[in-house]
Amino acid sequence: MISIKNFINGSYCESLTKDWLEVINPSNGEIYAKLPNSNTQDVHEAYLAAEKAFHSWSKTSVDQRSVILAKIAELIEDQMEILASAESMDNGKPISLARAVDIPRAAYNFKFFSQAVTQFYSESHEQISDKTINYTLRQPLGVVGCISPWNLPLYLFTWKIAPALAAGNCVVAKPSEVTPYTAFLLADICNKAGLPKGVLNIVHGLGKSTGQAIVEHPEIKAISFTGGSETGAHIAKTAAPMFKKLSLELGGKNPNIIFADCDYDKMLTTTVKSSFANQGQICLCGSRIFVEADIYEKFKKDFIKKVSQLKIGLPSEKETDIGAMVSKAHLDKVLGYIAAANKSEATVLCGGQKVSIKNGEKGFYLEPTVIEVSSNNCLLNQEEIFGPVVTLMPFKNATEVLEIANDVKYGLSATVWTNNLKRSMYFSEHLEAGMIWINTWMQRDLRTPFGGQKASGIGREGGFEVLRFFTEAKNICINYE
């Protein structure tokens, strides 16, 4: 059995509690590792190490930090195969996806911020009439907390850590207790890359105890969190009285709006991906599909045909399109929504059943599921399911679909398929979402702002936005009269 350990002050260590949690391989339901069930004292030890390291790390030159981050990126690339199999085993995602997306992106997060920080700048404002010049310093915050979810484990963990370190902060981080393995492996990579001890500390354990201890720590200056909206609200409530900086990347219930004038084949192929990639466990998945009435029946037939061809299988197999759901608890939650569909006016058009896979009989497999709904005002269209489940609904015109697309508490992303330029511009302006894709999905440029509106969060990650988040602006005004 693999023994996952905390990483504090440059060394792997057990929790002071000597208490362990089990890590389950979702492809076969077996326990394959144990991880520390860390407590407040473990988090404090991590904080002390980070605080000690901060003085020198925050004074290192941008170039020195950049070199270390680039080296981490290089070592992640070197260990692509090990990390991809670890991610696939831990999360249940097809290994092909971990190889093509998760691990390359984790490397690129470090590479990107190793470069971005060398281009980061601050402002200066001159008032000739008053003979004053203002300039703004962007100073690192100190010790910051980074908390990430289980769906894209190393991808999202590094998406926070890389900019935090690049900006000169030291970090206390916690991956999801459900998928801790690649974060554990990253620690060794950071040591090999020459990251000074104490600059990055990783504490494993449960969200409600270990994660909560990070949020509650009075000296941790900022929390960068990705996870569910309910957890985000709880974190905001805990952190606000301490005036911590907060970046909250939360849930989504994203509309995928398809007009009859779109490039049909491209739309169809992309819509299968935007519905079911990573078993639908991506916050950006388009889980509410609205199709213009003229092409609704054709789309329904073609989409179901393509979805039925997706291969559900062991994550380790090359041909697998749909791997295992992350955990039994999550599978049961998603099945609960499908059961609700069966009891309401919704119609399950395909999927909806658990699947037994050879050599993975105890794994957590679910068919990709398409449900037709008659109204946007139903549980299936209002709550985030976060699994391989999408709903279909026809619409008559742009006014109607815009209204229902926005009629949800979330506002993370939206996709629109159309070749009408005026309509694209209109929807870009009026859709309530932080990120809009026109005729594409999940094409990412790391320089752009990433985040949501409404219950999908506050703040933006990516590019200079996140470097601003991880720094304190201090303005200096000089009078030179």
Q: Tally the C-alpha atoms within 13 A of residue 43's C-alpha that lie toward its C-beta.
A: 27
| Span near ligand NDP by CB under 6 A; candidates 134-142, 293-301, 395-403, 452-460 | 452-460
406 phi-psi bin (left φ>0, alpha ψ -120 to 50, beta other):
alpha
* Of the candidate residues 182, 212, 320, 327, the single one contacting ligand NDP (CB under 6 A): 212
Which residues, other chains included, contact 364 with Cβ-Cβ below 8 Å and sequence gap of 6+? Answer: 26, 29, 92, 324, 325, 326, 327, 328, 330, 331
Note whether 206 binds ligand NDP by CB under 6 A. Answer: yes
- Residue ranges of E strands in 179-328: 200-202, 222-226, 245-249, 255-258, 288-292
- Tokens of residue 200, six digits: 């990055």
Note whether 90 binds ligand NDP by CB under 6 A. Answer: no
The string of DSSP codes covering 117-163 is HHH----EEEETTTTEEEEEEEEE-SEEEEE--SSSHHHHHHHHHHH
The nearer residue to ligand NDP, 42 or 249, going by C-beta atoms, is 249
303-332 footprint of ligand NDP as x/- string (CB under 6 A): ------------------------------
Among residues 87, 249, 367, 384, the one annotated as catalytic is: 249
Smallest distance from the beta carbon of 294 to ligand NDP, in angstroms? 32
Smallest distance from the beta carbon of 37 to ligand NDP, in angstroms? 10
Note whether 449 binds ligand NDP by CB under 6 A. Answer: no
Q: How far apart (Å, rounded) are the C-alpha atoms in residues 359 and 379? A: 35
- Tokens of residue 480, six digits: 């030179």
CA nearest 434: which of 415, 412, 454? 412
Smallest distance from the beta carbon of 307 to ligand NDP, in angstroms? 22
Q: How far apart (Å, rounded) are the C-alpha atoms in residues 438 and 364? A: 34
* Of the candidate residues 42, 249, 321, 432, the single one contacting ligand NDP (CB under 6 A): 249
218-237 footprint of ligand NDP as x/- string (CB under 6 A): --------xxx--x--xx--
CB 200 within 8 Å of CB 187: yes
Note whether 106 binds ligand NDP by CB under 6 A. Answer: no
* Of the candidate residues 26, 153, 207, 351, the single one contacting ligand NDP (CB under 6 A): 207
Q: How far apart (Å, rounded) are the C-alpha atoms in residues 200 and 120? A: 22
| Span near ligand NDP by CB under 6 A; candidates 141-149, 365-373, 393-401, 441-449 | 141-149
Is 249 annotated in the active site? yes
Among residues 283, 367, 378, 384, the one annotated as catalytic is: 283
Note whether 24 binds ligand NDP by CB under 6 A. Answer: no
Measured between alpha carbons, how far apart are the two ends of the chain, in Å? 71
Q: Which amino acid is at 390?
A: V
* Of the candidate residues 140, 153, 168, 252, the single one contacting ligand NDP (CB under 6 A): 252
Which DSSP category does 195 fall into? P
Give the bridge partners for 322, in sequence order.
312
The nearer residue to ligand NDP, 215 or 272, going by C-beta atoms, is 215
Note whether 155 binds ligand NDP by CB under 6 A. Answer: no
Q: How far apart (Å, rounded) are the C-alpha atoms in residues 67 and 350? A: 50
The nearer residue to ligand NDP, 256 or 418, going by C-beta atoms, is 256
Note whether 292 binds ligand NDP by CB under 6 A. Answer: no
Note whether 33 binds ligand NDP by CB under 6 A. Answer: no
Note whether 270 binds ligand NDP by CB under 6 A. Answer: no
Which residues, other chains included, contact 161 with Cβ-Cβ below 8 Å and sequence gap of 6+? Answer: 146, 171, 173, 200
Note whether 278 binds ligand NDP by CB under 6 A. Answer: no
383-422 footprint of ligand NDP as x/- string (CB under 6 A): -x-x-------------------------x----------
Is 170 annotated in the active site? no
Give the bridge partners for 478, in sequence order.
133
**Residue ranges that bind ligand NDP, judged by CB under 6 A:** 147-151, 156, 174, 176-178, 206-208, 211-212, 215, 226-228, 231, 234-235, 249-252, 283, 384, 386, 412, 452, 456-457
Q: Which residues are catalytic?
A: 249, 283
